[in-house]
Amino acid sequence: PGVRMNGITRILRFLVSMRPSPELASQMKIFMPFVAFDEGRCSVPGCNKLWDHYGFAVGCQKQGASTGFAYSSSQDSSGAWFSLPGACPALSVGDKDRGCMQKYPGGGCSDLSVSPTCTYSIKYAGEIFLDELAGIQDFAKWQRQGNLEYDEVKDRGVGTSFWDFRGSAAWCTRRMHRVRSLLKAKYPLLPEDLPAPSCF
């Protein structure tokens, strides 16, 4: 009670610059297939073989109706997931050791020109809290009063309508408009949005 799933309290926005790994560039590709990560660890079989084949490339997977996500807009017809392999991507955050990180340095660097293995750099570009997004003042108190952000069976919340109708394109567009508006208000000098690259 009083805590959201996985302790998530905010949405972080980052500006990511990327380039294909030398292995992908030789294949005339920009992205490798998307790879799932949990706690900093690649959670699909044979991860190290993937890095040997693709380098520490950014992965991309289109979303949309075929994967059960209905959200689309004029700016983003399907949405996408991206995977960014960090150092020692086969081990969880607390288990990474120096030897593994030297052998598998990952693709993240502060400057893409530092090394051929560098495939992406990340810069902080703002954050918004879920409470301000959904219009909740004190989440723990609000929840103790019997409110609920979202009920999967009813497809709606109690005490808030922000997360209602999860699969509705119109409601998802409304939610994204709220996200962009808050970010624009808090960070007026940063771009409101940038076009996302296509997965190919």
Q: Does the pTM of the predicted model rise above 0.85?
A: no
**Token digits of residue 195:** 């076009």
- 70 close to 167: Cβ distance less than 8 angstroms: yes
Per-residue model confidence (pLDDT) at position 80: 82
Is the pLDDT at 72 greater than 90? The verdict is no
Percentage of residues in the chain having pLDDT higher than 70: 91
Which residues have a Cβ under 8 Å from the Cβ of 94 and sit 6 or more positions away?
Answer: none
Q: What is the average pLDDT value for the chain, to the nearest integer?
A: 87
**Token digits of residue 85:** 């392999």
Is the pLDDT at 117 greater than 60? The verdict is yes
Strand ranges for 34-169 from DSSP E: 37-38, 41-42, 59-62, 80-83, 120-129, 148-151, 156-158
Q: Give the type of residue at 129.
A: F
pLDDT band at 126 (very low <50, low <70, confident <90, very high): very high
Is the pLDDT at 177 greater than 80? The verdict is yes
d(CA 19, CA 56): 11
In tens, the pLDDT along 26-49 reads 989 999 999 999 999 999 888 888
Q: Would you say the C-alpha torsion 51, 52, 55, 56 has a positive or negative sign? A: positive
